[in-house]
Structure 1
């Protein structure tokens, strides 16, 4: 007969895992009683009570005292996860803007700051804009870099294991930039770097139109075309970070697809390339024949790559995001017809509602995942006591 030996280390790790189980049962729920937490975690009520009291003592949870009166007896105490125990930051370094979004550990956005940047900005200019945007966001929330537990930066182009876009990026000179190394001089917390389309896909599953799906193809439809893939609930990066970069294959026709909109014959001379798509979509909505033809040709090219991804992955949902998703009423039906012509099974096609915040929101989710993974691997240490954050004057 084999005797089971339990060491002090085993018991300590078990307590840590049980504490994490209770934290997961607290996060994302209204204030809960010990009985409710016991039901969610599967732990006994006495064990749950011990765990939650320890979490309160360590600063991970707070007590919500009963309110009102009861003729039966005193209402049970309720407990709530202390979301302000730490904070995370998501940053979108795009072609025309820098957006920084700060959130607590529940993912509640507390402050955001955006700053324009020109598409032809050199790396030094873009990095300077990123630094200024982050600093302004922190100051606006009354925080410092020490308050952050994780930072994720979204960039354009496939991100390799070093956090750089060495394969390709349309941002001038950006292949030489290491964003994590640059931000490492400002932050002591983990810094992640990820492709913008992949982060947008994460955001759609977290807070967007694909919350009910584990199999998602996200299409970036705009001046640039790209894709992000979530399969079986997992973001797919690929071996070298280039999963979804199907537009690199010229036969797919994604590289030149937006030119159909920019070259519409009825486009007024006063409308520049950056505004051409908006004009064409509006004109197509009003019945302009040339504009409708331009939209049809654009969606035909967009559908080639989309169909290849659909046939390879058989997703539940295709989410159309990016700037052109604002014209979903004009864009989605032609795209659906093209996919019906090309695919064995057409998934649901939905338009993003997250606007241009999707990348930054996906970055927040990845930062939160990093915090969760670190807590699971290293155990719980008591967070710093909360301090009063006074937003800076704007």
Structure 2
């Protein structure tokens, strides 16, 4: 597209289209008069824009109530935004499970599906599991693959702007994987790849525990914990996409690994052994002294790591999430630790979305992308600013 100037008619049309579409999307349904009043545009301009939006399939005229027509004559024409004009997919490709959620263009969830995958599964097998999950979800929801307008993906690791996983210790064969490119072969729409903790932070801000806070740290607790941060309501990725990688803090002069901390024997747990970790937490919950001591050691390390991030960012809220059991036991020691070091300790709470947070955040990233497409004009978004790339 050529450079647009302030008086360029095509720019004015785009601005008017974005304004009218935003007004219709915000309303359940609206008349041309109501849209004119809300937007401040002239009646002929609104009529022309609505006709274009109807032709594009984004807006539809609602059928008049036959009873009202017979009694009062034809009422004013009403129009609504077609949330069913396209669909969005949120995909969580994790170490032990692949989950997906599909929604319409209003973000209304139409279905979710997931399947387990072995932690040792190679990249191709994990990707095939993701394709299987997506295919089954779309079939159940009655959504044609070609109707998807954007796909968001959350995954462990440091993710580059081009969707390449630059580094990932949690998944075999994931480091260096061009994940966005590989998944794009399965979809005819943009694919946006994001770190899983970042996606979870976006989700909690959208629909979870952080809806009232714009400065947030979300921690995915586990053997290799990660954190996502929102600063002023905007996702903070860092210069190279590695912001929040607190799972690497133990490398700074510490020789004891998380697998050693959680071990109840003289030998560390096998690397990335989800079942072994689950067994330790289960035994701790049952009162086993050795397992309880191991969990306490692990939580103390995690508390220190989270405290370091909080001191650097000074958030209003810290949200603890992830698939690790017993996370509620982490809240009190974390609050105590933050009270010792912070001038104003942040609130600390558990995720309200649980294991659905990553897929939900990935869905939000897809929705952000579509909203930018609908409402952005030369870098300005008429609606909510997106957190996706």
State whether TM-score is above 0.5.
yes
- Corresponding residue SS for 1:222: coil
* Equivalent pair of 1:224/1:255 in contact (CA under 8 Å): no
Asked if 1:282 corresponds to 2:285, the answer is yes
Between stretches 40-49 and 55-64, larger displacement belongs to 40-49
CA distance in 1, matches of 2:264, 2:31: 63
Alpha-carbon deviation of 1:322? 0.6
The SS at the match of 1:143 is coil
Contact 1:300 1:338 in 2 (8 A): no
State the Cα deviation string for residues 106-141 of structure 1 (Å, max 9, x = none). 111112221110001111211211121122222222
The gaps in structure 2 that reach 5 residues or longer are 267-273, 379-389
Q: Does 1:197 align with 2:200?
A: no
SS state of the match for residue 165, structure 2?
coil
**C-alpha contact (below 8 Å) 2:60/2:79 kept by paired residues:** yes
> Is 1:215–1:315's contact at 8 Å kept on the other side of the alignment?
yes
Segment of structure 1 superposing worse, 32-41 or 229-238: 32-41
Worse overlay, 76-85 or 24-33 = 24-33
- Conserved 8 A contact 1:32-1:79: yes
**1:89 pairs with 2:89:** yes
* DSSP-derived class of the 1:89 partner: strand
1:163 equivalent in structure 2: 163
Distance 1:333 1:253 in 2: 25
Partner of 1:334: 333
Deviation at 1:334, TM superposition (A): 2.0
Alignment of 1:1-394 (within 5 A): 10-34=8-32, 36-38=34-36, 40-43=38-41, 47-64=45-62, 77-250=77-250, 251=252, 256-257=257-258, 260=261, 263=264, 273-276=276-279, 278-279=281-282, 282-283=285-286, 296-324=296-324, 327-376=326-375
Alpha-carbon distance in 2 for matches of 1:62, 1:311: 51
1:255 and 1:37 mapped to 2: Cα distance? 63
Instruction: Please report how far the alpha carbon of residue 153 of structure 1 lies from its aligned counterpart in structure 2 after TM superposition.
Output: 1.8
Whether the 8 Å contact between 2:160 and 2:241 is mirrored in structure 1 is yes
| CA spacing shift, 1:88–1:254, aligned 2, 3 Å | farther
Aligned to 2:383: none
What SS is found at the alignment partner of 2:369? helix
Query: Does structure 1 conserve the Cα–Cα contact (< 8 Å) formed by 2:15 and 2:377?
Result: no
Q: Render the CA deviation track for 1:302-329: whole Å, top value 9, x for unaligned.
A: 22222222222111111111124x6454
User: Does the residue aligned with 2:98 lie in a helix, a strand or coil?
Assistant: strand
Q: Deviations over 1:52-106 (max 9, x none)?
A: 3543343212334566869999865543210011112111110001112111111
Paired with 1:56 and 1:272, the residues of 2 have a C-alpha distance of 53
The 3-state SS of whatever aligns with 1:27 is: helix
Task: Tell whether the 8 Å contact from 2:14 to 2:377 is kept in structure 1 after alignment.
Answer: no
2:92 and 2:363 map into 1 onto residues whose CA distance is 10
d(CA) in 2 for partners of 1:49, 1:249: 59
Cα distance in 2 for residues equivalent to 1:277 and 1:322: 16
CA 1:232–1:343 in structure 2 vs 1: closer, same or farther (change >3 Å)?
Answer: same
Contact 1:219–1:319 (Cα < 8 Å) also in 2:
yes
User: Given that residues 151 and 191 in structure 1 are in contact (C-alpha distance below 8 angstroms), is that contact kept between their aligned partners in structure 2?
Assistant: yes
d(CA) in 1 for partners of 2:16, 2:255: 49
Cα deviation for residue 183 of structure 1 reads 2.1
Question: How many Å apart are 1:143 and its aligned residue?
Answer: 3.2
Is the contact made by 1:225 and 1:255 (CA closer than 8 Å) also made in structure 2? Answer: no
* Number of residue pairs the alignment of both structures matches: 365
* Aligned-partner Cα distance in 2 for 1:302–1:66: 60
Following TM superposition, by how much is the alpha carbon of 1:260 offset from its aligned partner in structure 2, in angstroms? 4.6
Unpaired stretches in structure 1, ≥5 consecutive residues? 1-5, 266-270, 380-394
- TM-score by structure 2 length? 0.81
2:5 & 2:291 partners in 1: Cα distance?
73
For the residues of structure 2 that align with 1:247 and 1:42, how far apart are their CA atoms?
Answer: 52
Q: CA deviation at 1:351?
A: 1.1
Q: TM-score, normalised by structure 1?
A: 0.80
**Could you tell me whether the CA contact under 8 Å between 1:154 and 1:196 is conserved in 2?**
yes
Please tell me whether the aligned partners of residues 98 and 117 of structure 2 are also in contact (alpha carbons under 8 angstroms).
yes
CA distance in 2, matches of 1:138, 1:328: 33
